[in-house]
Structure 1
Amino acid sequence: MGEENSTSGTCKPSKTFKAKCSHMVRKQRAKFYILGRCLAMLVCGRGRDRERDRILI
């Protein structure tokens, strides 16, 4: 019938191996950045809650 697209998502498939690798690296870097920001918010948020509780008591 038609040509099936084996890639998932909305990303346009790259032609060269180097382009594919650099695309995957960029995606992973973005994921790690988001994960790091979430962890930082969790850690910093807990510290603020403890300080606020000490001030109220």
Structure 2
Amino acid sequence: MKQENKSFCNRHVRDPCRSFGRRCSRLVKEQRARFYILRRCIVMLVCWHEYGDP
């Protein structure tokens, strides 16, 4: 069990930039998806307000 942790830590210490880049790209994707959903909801509400039943 100790040996697994040691190799796991060594891998992250050896290449921290790759791990950081993956985390950043994942966060960017997540934020982009959230903004897309938010934008679609706002557009739907605006269109519903403009073209909804009088």
* Unmatched segments (≥5 aa) in structure 1: 1-11
15, 20, 25: which one pairs with 2:21?
Answer: 25
The count of residues paired between Structure 1 and Structure 2 equals 44
Bigger helix share: 2
Please give the per-residue CA displacement for 1:7-28, whole angstroms capped at 9, x wherever unaligned.
xxxxx43141xx2110110011
Q: Is 1:42 aligned with 2:47?
A: no
- Higher relative contact order by CA 8 Å / sep ≥ 6: 1 or 2? 2
| Equivalent residue number for residue 53 of structure 1 | 49
TM-score, length basis structure 1: 0.63
CA RMSD of aligned residues (A): 1.5
TM-score, length basis structure 2: 0.66
Moved beyond 3 Å, runs of 4+: none
